[in-house]
């Protein structure tokens, strides 16, 4: 059996962030990174550009072999975690190797959740989460002229835009009443939907797919409205679920994801979890929830690594504050924190500024004097600063008017005073 001091499962944002934290204080401790993927690390967020051909797989590496050599990292790709034996502090990989660890980080992320649509398993479909998914989808475009995308979340919207840009006729089917719920409210989503329509995407919002079947080389989906859509390609982007199958029936506590405390430690000594796989405290509710966004994966990975190395500078994880910047057809949408006041207490102050002609939109949500969320389309505010204001619950009362008329400068000023 092979031995390593630190074993990290996964090689994406959470894993690499933990690696950084560990190497800050321990440059020599043996460190092994094992990942299911057969590629050097990349961000899943670039995959739509691989699909369209705008980016090439070899150009989007987050780290390369030289980095691993310099940082004394033993990088094993194409060999995911298969089983975990917590009594023996060891894991078995899909390639049959066995590794014993002193400290283990589970950063295995999330994988597409496939909805139980009758007929779907017999129908050819694509998903988009890994580099191989993107490369396969890119190859399929050679003969595809039309696509139906199930799901109007971030992944489906990114993919749809990149498909239409290479000349594929696209229909998005979203069962909820708006696209991008959780990131933007219904009004902002309308602006985004309209832009997609103007760019030739067919939008079937509020429609549920009730059946799927093969149609020649392609697929046919049936909607609850009775309509049927046929397409050369079917892309299923209906959500993701944490990858935890290797923990089945074991003692590591899971719910939707792996349950962790505010240092990303699981209930088992010497095992941590971070990123999309983890179920950590939610900033707003205090309950534990799975996240699914990149900044949270980076932050959780950073804290997990610090905890693994006993870094005295560690601060507990305060909970994730969503931060998304979303570009679509040359427009820029940003959402920080909560974007829908319906998810907040009734006395939340809502400040809305919409200019349909110029296609600008800005919404600020304030509760108990603090910023709870800010979202905008084609408006100018610094998402990093806004993120800090929410996270640090900075009191806006004394400067509220200035903040509402100029969030960026007022936010910067406030933060510079906080940091001083």
Ligand X SMILES: Cc1cc2nc3c(=O)[nH]c(=O)nc-3n(C[C@H](O)[C@H](O)[C@H](O)COP(=O)(O)OP(=O)(O)OC[C@H]3O[C@@H](n4cnc5c(N)ncnc54)[C@H](O)[C@@H]3O)c2cc1C
Binding site for ligand X (CB under 6 A): 9-15, 34-37, 44-45, 47-48, 80-81, 107-110, 128-129, 154-155, 158, 243, 246, 275-276, 292-295, 297, 324, 326
Nearer CB in complex with ligand X: 366/376? 376
From CA 370, how far away is CA 393, in angstroms rounded? 6
Q: How far is the CB of 400 from ligand X (least distance, A)?
A: 29
Nearer CB in complex with ligand X: 86/128? 128
Q: How far is the CB of 316 from ligand X (least distance, A)?
A: 19
Q: How far is the CB of 256 from ligand X (least distance, A)?
A: 14
From CA 93, how far away is CA 203, in angstroms rounded? 43
Extract the tokens encoding 4: 């390593």
Which residues, 6+ apart, have CB-to-CB distance to 390 below 8 Å? 283, 321, 336, 337, 370, 371, 372, 373
CB 244 within 8 A of CB 277: yes
Which residues, 6+ apart, have CB-to-CB distance to 310 below 8 Å? none
Strands of the 349-355 sheet, one edge to the other: 323-328, 331-337, 370-377, 360-367, 349-355
Nearer CB in complex with ligand X: 20/230? 20
Nearer CB in complex with ligand X: 154/389? 154
Q: How far is the CB of 220 from ligand X (least distance, A)?
A: 25
Q: How far is the CB of 195 from ligand X (least distance, A)?
A: 17
From CA 58, how far away is CA 273, in angstroms rounded? 29
Q: How far is the CB of 333 from ligand X (least distance, A)?
A: 10
Helix pair angle (407-419, 383-391), 10° resolution: 50
From CA 78, how far away is CA 301, in angstroms rounded? 21
Q: What residues are paired with 351 via a beta bridge?
A: 364
Nearer CB in complex with ligand X: 37/341? 37
Nearer CB in complex with ligand X: 37/232? 37
């Amino acid at each position: 059996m092979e031995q390593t001091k630190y074993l990290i499962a996964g090689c994406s944002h959470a894993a690499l962030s933990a690696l950084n934290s560990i190497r800050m204080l321990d440059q020599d401790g043996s460190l092994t990174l094992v990942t299911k993927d057969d590629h050097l690390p990349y961000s899943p967020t670039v995959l739509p550009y691989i699909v369209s051909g705008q980016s090439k797989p070899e150009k989007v590496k987050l780290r390369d072999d030289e980095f691993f050599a310099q940082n004394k990292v033993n990088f094993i790709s194409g060999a995911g975690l298969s089983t975990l034996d917590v009594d023996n502090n060891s894991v078995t990989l899909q390639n049959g190797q066995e590794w014993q660890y002193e400290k283990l980080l589970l950063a295995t992320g999330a994988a597409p959740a496939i909805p139980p649509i009758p007929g779907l398993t017999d129908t050819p479909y694509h998903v988009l989460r890994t580099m191989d998914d993107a490369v396969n989808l890119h190859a399929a475009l050679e003969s595809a002229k039309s696509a139906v995308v199930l799901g109007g979340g971030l992944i489906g919207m990114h993919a749809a835009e990149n498909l239409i840009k290479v000349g594929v006729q696209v229909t998005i089917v979203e069962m909820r009443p708006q696209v991008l719920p959780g990131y933007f409210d219904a009004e902002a989503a309308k602006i985004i939907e309209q832009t997609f329509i103007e760019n030739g995407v067919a939008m079937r919002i509020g429609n549920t797919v009730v059946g799927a079947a093969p149609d020649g080389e392609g697929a046919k989906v049936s909607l609850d409205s009775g309509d049927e859509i046929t397409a050369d390609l079917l892309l299923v982007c209906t959500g993701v679920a944490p990858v935890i199958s290797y923990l089945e029936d074991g003692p590591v506590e899971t719910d939707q994801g792996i349950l962790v405390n505010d240092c990303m430690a699981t209930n088992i000594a010497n095992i941590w979890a971070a990123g999309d796989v983890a179920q950590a405290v939610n900033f707003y509710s205090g309950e534990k929830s799975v996240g699914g966004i990149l900044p949270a994966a980076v932050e959780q990975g950073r804290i997990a690594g610090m905890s693994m190395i006993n870094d005295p500078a560690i601060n507990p994880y305060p909970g994730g504050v969503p931060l998304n910047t979303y570009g679509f057809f040359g427009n820029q949408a940003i959402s920080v924190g909560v974007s829908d006041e319906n998810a907040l207490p009734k006395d939340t102050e809502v400040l809305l500024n919409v200019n349909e002609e110029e296609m600008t939109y800005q919404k600020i949500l304030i509760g108990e004097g603090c910023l709870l969320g800010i979202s905008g389309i084609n408006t100018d505010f610094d998402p990093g600063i806004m993120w800090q204001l929410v996270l640090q619950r900075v009191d806006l009362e004394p400067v509220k008017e200035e903040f509402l008329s100029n969030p960026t400068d007022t936010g910067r000023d406030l933060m510079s005073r906080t940091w001083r």
